C-alpha cells in the first residue's frame, strides 16, 4: 500500500481545491494508472503535460486543442457573474492558454430536483451568451436531474474545442523567461469568499470572470514565438500555477511581491482571514512566461489592448543546485525572500 493511500482514507474538500492535494491525487491515483504511451495522442500532449488543454496533431500541421472542466460554485450567482458565465469563460480561457482559437463547446448539465426554472434559464443564458459573444459554437451536450438532496443546486461540465497553429506548451518555459500577469490577482477568490460569509462582507470587488479572447488572440497572432508558457491562475492562484511551472521545467521561479498587482481590499481581506492572496483564484487573468528579449514588447501590447495593469512580476532561473529545482521564491516588499509553497487545504471551497 503506497503512502498516499495510507494517508488518505477518504476524499476531502482539499482534494478538490486545486492545491497540493489535488495535484497529488490526480498524479498518483489517476494519471499513474494510465500507461505512458496512452497519456497523449502520438505527437501531441495530454496527461504527460498536465496543461490547461490537451493537444492532438492534425494532418495539416495544426493541433486540435481539447479541454474539459466541471464547474461548481457557491453561490451560483455572485458579484460579477454566475455559474454559466464562469463555465463558458473558463472553457474559452483554457483553450486560449494552449495557444488555440476556441471554436466549439459541449455542455453536460446536472440539476437538483426542484431547482428554480428561472435560475436555470438565467445561468444557461449566461453560458450561451458568453459563447455567442466569442463566436464559439455550442454543438452538443447532455442534461440530467438528480433527486432532491443528492446534489446541491447545479453543476455544469463544459468541454471546449479549439484549433492551434502555434500551440503553447508550458514545459517549454526556460531560464531567463519573464513572468507577466495581465491584471490584478485574486478578485474572483475574494468575491466568492466574501459572498460565502454569513456576515455578508461588501469588499467593493467583483469577480474578474471573463473570457480573455481580446487579449490572447492578438498576442498569439503577433507574439506566439515569444510566449513559452501561459496559464490562468484559477484554483490555487498564482502560487499554484508558478509551482506547477517550476516543477514541470525543473527551474526556479522568483516573484517580486511589490510588482504583483493585487487590490488593497483583496489583500487586506485575505490576510484578515489568514489566506495568502497569491493562492486566491482569478477567472479573468492570464499569466505568461515570455522570452526576456521580447517581454517589454509583449507588455506594451497588453497595455495597448486595454490591460493597463499588466506587469512583469518575476523571472525564471536555472536551478544550479538540483535540490532547488521546482521551487518558487517570493521577494517581499521589505527585501526578504521566502519559499512560496503550493497552497494546501481548503483554500476556498466551491469556487469554480
Q: Give DSSP secondary structure letters for 78-130.
A: ETTEEHHHHHHHHHHHHHHTTT-EEEEEEEEEEEETT--HHHHHHHHHHHHHH
Identify the helix (H) or strand (E) that includes residue 177: none
pLDDT, position 3: 44
pLDDT 10s digit of each residue in the chain, 352 long?
Answer: 354 444 678 888 888 877 888 888 888 889 999 999 999 999 999 999 999 899 999 999 999 999 999 999 999 999 999 999 999 999 999 999 999 999 999 999 999 999 999 999 999 999 999 999 999 999 999 999 999 999 999 999 999 999 999 999 999 999 999 999 999 999 999 999 999 885 556 788 999 999 999 999 999 999 999 999 999 999 999 999 999 999 999 999 999 999 999 999 999 999 888 899 999 999 999 999 999 999 999 999 999 999 999 999 999 999 999 999 999 999 998 889 999 999 887 777 788 8
pLDDT, position 199: 53
Topology of 170-339 in CATH?
Answer: Phosphoribosyl-aminoimidazole Synthetase; Chain A, domain 2 (3.90.650)
Q: Is 36 helix (H, G, I), strand (E, B) or coil?
A: helix
Contact, 91 vs 67, CB < 8 A? yes
Domain ranges of the chain: 34-164, 170-339
pLDDT, position 347: 72
Beta bridge partners of 64: 56, 163
Q: Give DSSP secondary structure letters for 216-282.
A: HHHHHHHHTTTEEEEE---TTHHHHHHHHHHHHHTEEEEEEGGGS---HHHHHHHHHTT--GGGS--
Query: How far apart are alpha carbons 126 and 81 in whole angstroms?
Result: 9
pLDDT, position 1: 36
Query: How far apart are alpha carbons 93 and 211 in whole angstroms?
Result: 6
Contact, 66 vs 56, CB < 8 A? yes
Contact, 233 vs 213, CB < 8 A? no
Place of cell 497595455: 303
Helix pair angle (83-96, 213-223), 10° resolution = 0
Q: Is 163 helix (H, G, I), strand (E, B) or coil?
A: strand
Beta bridge partners of 68: 159
Give whole-number Cα distances, 66 to 61, 98, 333, in Å. Answer: 16, 9, 40
Residues in Cβ contact with 292 at an 8 Å cutoff, skipping those fewer than 6 apart: 176, 177, 178, 315
Contacts from 41-49 at CB under 8 Å and sequence distance 24+?
45/167, 45/169, 49/169, 49/170, 49/171, 49/248
Contact, 352 vs 213, CB < 8 A? no
Q: Is 152 helix (H, G, I), strand (E, B) or coil?
A: coil
Considering the entire predicted model, what is its pTM? 0.94
Beta bridge partners of 101: 163
The CATH homologous superfamily for domain 34-164 is PurM-like, N-terminal domain (3.30.1330.10)
Q: Give the chain's radius of gyration (CA, Å).
A: 20
pLDDT, position 59: 97
Give whole-number Cα distances, 134 to 89, 131, 250, 288, in Å. Answer: 10, 5, 36, 22
Query: How far apart are alpha carbons 235 and 197 in whole angstroms?
Result: 19
Amino acid at each position: 500500500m503506497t503512502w498516499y493511500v495510507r494517508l488518505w482514507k477518504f476524499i476531502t474538500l482539499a482534494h478538490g481545491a486545486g492545491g497540493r492535494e489535488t495535484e497529488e491525487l490526480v498524479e498518483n491515483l489517476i494519471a499513474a494508472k494510465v500507461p505512458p504511451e496512452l497519456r497523449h495522442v502520438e505527437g501531441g500532449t495530454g496527461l504527460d503535460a498536465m496543461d490547461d488543454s490537451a493537444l492532438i496533431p492534425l494532418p495539416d500541421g495544426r493541433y486540435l486543442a481539447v479541454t474539459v472542466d466541471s464547474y461548481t460554485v457557491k453561490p451560483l450567482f455572485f458579484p460579477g457573474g454566475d455559474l454559466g458565465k464562469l463555465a463558458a469563460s473558463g472553457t474559452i480561457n483554457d483553450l486560449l492558454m494552449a495557444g488555440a482559437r476556441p471554436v466549439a463547446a459541449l455542455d453536460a448539465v446536472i440539476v437538483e430536483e426542484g431547482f428554480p426554472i428561472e435560475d436555470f434559464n438565467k445561468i444557461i443564458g449566461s453560458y450561451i451568451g458568453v459563447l455567442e459573444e466569442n463566436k464559439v459554437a455550442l454543438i452538443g451536450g447532455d442534461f440530467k436531474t438528480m433527486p432532491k438532496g443528492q446534489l446541491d443546486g447545479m453543476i455544469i461540465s463544459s468541454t471546449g474545442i479549439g484549433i492551434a497553429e502555434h500551440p503553447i506548451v508550458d514545459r517549454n518555459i526556460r531560464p531567463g523567461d519573464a513572468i507577466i500577469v495581465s491584471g490584478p490577482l485574486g478578485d474572483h477568490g475574494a468575491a466568492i469568499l466574501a459572498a460565502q460569509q454569513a456576515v455578508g462582507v461588501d469588499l467593493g470587488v467583483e469577480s474578474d470572470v471573463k473570457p480573455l479572447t481580446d487579449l490572447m488572440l492578438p498576442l498569439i497572432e503577433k507574439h506566439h514565438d515569444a510566449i513559452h508558457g501561459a496559464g490562468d491562475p484559477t484554483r490555487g492562484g498564482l502560487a499554484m500555477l508558478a509551482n506547477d511551472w517550476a516543477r514541470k521545467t525543473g527551474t526556479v521561479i522568483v516573484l517580486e511581491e511589490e510588482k504583483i498587482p493585487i487590490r488593497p481590499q483583496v489583500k487586506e481581506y485575505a490576510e484578515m482571514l489568514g489566506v495568502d492572496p497569491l493562492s486566491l483564484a482569478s477567472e479573468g487573468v492570464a499569466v505568461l512566461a515570455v522570452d526576456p528579449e521580447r517581454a517589454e514588447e509583449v507588455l506594451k501590447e497588453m497595455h495597448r489592448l486595454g490591460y493597463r495593469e499588466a506587469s512583469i512580476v518575476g523571472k525564471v532561473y536555472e536551478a544550479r543546485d538540483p535540490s532547488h529545482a521546482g521551487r518558487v521564491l517570493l521577494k517581499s516588499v521589505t527585501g526578504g525572500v521566502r519559499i512560496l509553497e503550493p497552497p494546501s487545504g481548503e483554500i476556498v471551497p466551491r469556487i469554480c
